């Protein structure tokens, strides 16, 4: 393998600026360093090369023949490096931000808010994959959103949104059935989701009703399907606040036990260690902001039992 023997890039940049401007002082001003730093960099480069690049006469400098030829080659090389770097940066800026998001959160919380992020990042391209698969450091995503806390080796996780849980159902069901006490659930149909298998057992245990047996149970593979079934009046689902905030506010769902809300798992923005894309940092910061805004508003609507 060929090992390139080169002086420092800083020395080459300093030399090219001084040679182009014909002045150590002007080069120092352009590079935002002191004149002494420029002089030391040039002297070091001359020592490394074993040649004199500038003829000095007091404060005046002039390129030697060797310096003139070297400057032409160095300038071409630096120009090519500048163009190549700009292409990489521009290509990275045009690359879509790859998001791997839990389906229900994507549908009910993220997508309605996403125009705010795109409005703040003109031209931002966002690509969303909905998934509840486990994520690893080998995953092809920029930001993944998962519930936690959880250990994700090789990844960085930031909590941005907390979740709370309480039963929800359609207003027609709440008016038709008596739902004033937790034990009234024994006469109802409970809706379950495989992706949240512990939702009902956890809530019932918190209410001191661990052994409650419902009249009937319906199980669905995804949580958003269970919520839709609740909205259609098939039974009661465990509603996750803030994912059902809009439905509660609009009256499409009601919370028959608004004071019986328990803490659930939180949402985390997960990124790769050492991720350098500015868009990633901007999106995570935006998630943190939206999570904070969400936490300050929205309360379950009661079932208007009278």
Describe the strand order of the beta sheet including 126-130 as a list of residue ranges: 126-130, 97-101, 143-148, 262-272, 155-168, 236-241, 189-193, 216-220
127 and 167 part of one domain: yes
Tell me the pLDDT tens digit for each residue of 245-270.
999 999 999 999 999 999 999 999 99
Are 13 and 21 contacting, i.e. CB atoms less than 8 angstroms apart? no
| pLDDT band for position 306 (cuts 50, 70, 90) | very low
26 and 120 part of one domain: no
- Residue 120: give the domain boundaries: 99-306
38 and 125 part of one domain: no
pLDDT at 65 (0 to 100): 93
Non-local (6+) Cβ contacts of 249 within 8 A are: 298, 301
pLDDT at 10 (0 to 100): 94
Helix or strand run (H / E) with residue 235: none
Which of 67, 94, 121 finishes a domain?
Answer: 94
Tell me the pLDDT tens digit for each residue of 6-25.
899 999 999 999 999 999 99
Q: Is 1 domain-assigned?
A: no
45 and 112 part of one domain: no
pLDDT at 297 (0 to 100): 66
Q: Is 3 domain-assigned?
A: no
Give me the CATH number covering residue 68: 1.10.10.10
Tell me the pLDDT tens digit for each residue of 191-219.
999 999 999 999 999 999 998 999 999 99
pTM across the whole model: 0.68
Are 258 and 141 contacting, i.e. CB atoms less than 8 angstroms apart? no
Burial status of residue 245 (CB atoms within 10 A of its CB: 0-12, 13-18, 19 or more)? buried
Helix or strand run (H / E) with residue 168: strand 155-168
Number of Cβ atoms within 10 Å of the Cβ of 20: 13
155 and 299 part of one domain: yes
Which residues make beta-bridge pairs with 191? 218, 237
């Amino acid at each position: 393998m060929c090992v390139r023997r080169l002086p420092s890039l800083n020395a080459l940049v300093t030399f090219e600026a001084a040679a182009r401007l014909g002045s150590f002082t002007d080069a120092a001003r352009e590079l935002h360093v002191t004149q002494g730093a420029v002089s030391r960099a040039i002297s070091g480069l001359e020592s490394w090369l074993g040649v004199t690049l500038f003829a000095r006469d007091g404060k005046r400098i002039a390129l030697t023949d060797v310096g003139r030829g070297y400057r032409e080659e160095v300038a071409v090389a630096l120009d090519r490096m500048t163009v190549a770097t700009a292409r990489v940066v521009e290509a990275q800026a045009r690359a879509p931000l790859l998001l791997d998001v839990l389906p229900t959160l994507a549908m009910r919380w993220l997508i309605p808010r996403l125009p705010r992020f795109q409005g703040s990042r003109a031209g931002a391209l966002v690509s969303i994959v909905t998934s509840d698969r486990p994520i690893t450091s080998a995953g092809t995503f920029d930001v993944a959103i998962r519930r936690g806390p959880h250990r994700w080796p090789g990844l960085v996780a930031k909590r941005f949104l907390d979740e709370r849980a309480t039963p929800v159902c359609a207003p027609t069901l709440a008016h038709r059935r008596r739902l004033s006490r937790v034990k009234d659930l024994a006469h109802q149909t409970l809706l379950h989701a495989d992706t949240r298998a512990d939702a009902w057992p956890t809530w019932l245990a918190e209410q001191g009703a661990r052994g409650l047996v419902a009249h009937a149970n319906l199980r669905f593979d995804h949580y958003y399907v269970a919520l839709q079934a609740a909205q259609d009046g098939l039974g009661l689902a465990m509603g996750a606040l803030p994912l059902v905030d809009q439905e509660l506010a609009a009256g499409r769902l009601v919370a028959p036990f608004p004071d019986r809300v328990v803490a659930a798992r939180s949402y985390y923005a997960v990124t790769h260690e050492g991720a350098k894309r500015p868009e990633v940092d901007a999106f995570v910061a935006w998630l943190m902001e939206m999570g904070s805004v969400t936490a300050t508003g929205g309360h379950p609507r009661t079932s208007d039992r009278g």
